[in-house]
Amino acid sequence: MLAAAENLSDIPNRIHQPVMSVEVRDLLCERRPLRIIDATVGTGGHAAVLLQNSPSASCLLGLDRDPHALETAQARLIQFGARARLNNADFADLDVEARKAGFDQVDAILADLGMSTFALDDPNRGFSFRYDGPLDMRMDPSEPVRAYDLVNETGERELAHIIYEYGEERASRRIARAIVSARSRAPIATTGELRTLLERVLGPHRGGVHPATRTFQALRISVNHELQSLQRFLEKAPGLLAKGGRICVLAYHSLEDRPAKERFRELGREPDFTLLTRKAMRPSPAETADNPRSRSARLRSLERNL
């Protein structure tokens, strides 16, 4: 269990608005789950919804790699007492964490992928090109490699590969060349410096997607081994479901949606599982108007048959 957050007064500003929470609630709470894992508890928005809408005997294990998010989640979930247990862990180790919490099998699993607004909007974490801050991007600050290390120490070909594979950026080679040239004069130390370089290489922002978006996404995915963790999570999570148990995955870009789509489709062809979402569910127009960051969300769900 984590120590209580020291200063709770700023919590409302740090809270992330849970995406598609009605759809997630309807899918995961329909069968009145008793054992729930929120694999990306973040600041606890979905977890609170799940606990409010499941039997009072239910218990939720919330995991997150980000200890700062967990402090906020803990303050938010304190109202549920011992029903909410939080742990600082990578969801790639879901099976180990579930066992440690005494869950052999579970009735509901949620993975709401990507970043919380709370981390994204903190300039000191270095996730966003919208704020100037150190080039960090680690979800777990105890991890050894920062975006700074990747940008300043990775060879040009490898850098281009990362930007292409994880950012789907067609100008990856030009960007890598410009980074290597710039860092030969002085290290690229801040999100602002990298943003300026990207605007120089790709041209200024003229509406639509900002030119820094894909490269920042690529660096973040690489720093946090996001796709490798997701792959391990998707291999393990369905096997933890009890009969009638359900899993939901919320993804925000195609690189994280594709593995979930493929894994659920493959399992849906087996007699033990039913695919609950042939096509991904999308947020309602009302939700995207209220919370523009929800607009790219795709929700997929799978059930273990009774």
Ligand X SMILES: C[S@@+](CC[C@H](N)C(=O)[O-])C[C@H]1O[C@@H](n2cnc3c(N)ncnc32)[C@H](O)[C@@H]1O
Alpha-helical (H) ranges within 101-225 are 117-120, 147-153, 156-167, 172-183, 191-202, 213-223
Question: Where do contacts with ligand X occur on this chain (CB under 6 A)?
Answer: 16, 18, 40, 42-46, 63-66, 69, 90-92, 112, 114-116, 139, 229
Instruction: Compute φ and ψ for 60, nearest 5 degrees.
Output: -120, 130
Measured from the CB atom, the residue of 136 and 188 that comes closer to ligand X is 136
Please state, in angstroms and rounded to a whole number, the distance separating the CA atoms of residues 288 and 136.
29
Distance of closest approach, residue 211 Cβ to ligand X, in angstroms: 24
Measured from the CB atom, the residue of 17 and 196 that comes closer to ligand X is 17
Please state, in angstroms and rounded to a whole number, the distance separating the CA atoms of residues 159 and 136.
16
Distance of closest approach, residue 89 Cβ to ligand X, in angstroms: 7
Polymer length in residues for the chain: 306
Distance of closest approach, residue 202 Cβ to ligand X, in angstroms: 27
| Structure-derived torsion over alpha carbons of residues 204, 207, 211, 215, reported in degrees to the nearest 10 | 160
Distance of closest approach, residue 168 Cβ to ligand X, in angstroms: 19
Distance of closest approach, residue 270 Cβ to ligand X, in angstroms: 25
Q: Among all chains, which residue has been given the structure tokens 């946090």?
A: 224
Q: Give the DSSP H or E segment for 38.
A: strand 35-38
Please state, in angstroms and rounded to a whole number, the distance separating the CA atoms of residues 273 and 221.
30
Measured from the CB atom, the residue of 217 and 229 that comes closer to ligand X is 229
Measured from the CB atom, the residue of 110 and 179 that comes closer to ligand X is 110
Measured from the CB atom, the residue of 11 and 178 that comes closer to ligand X is 11
Distance of closest approach, residue 6 Cβ to ligand X, in angstroms: 19
Q: Give strand pairing partners of 299.
A: 250, 281
Whether the CB-CB separation of 71 and 5 falls below 8 Å is answered with yes
Measured from the CB atom, the residue of 42 and 167 that comes closer to ligand X is 42
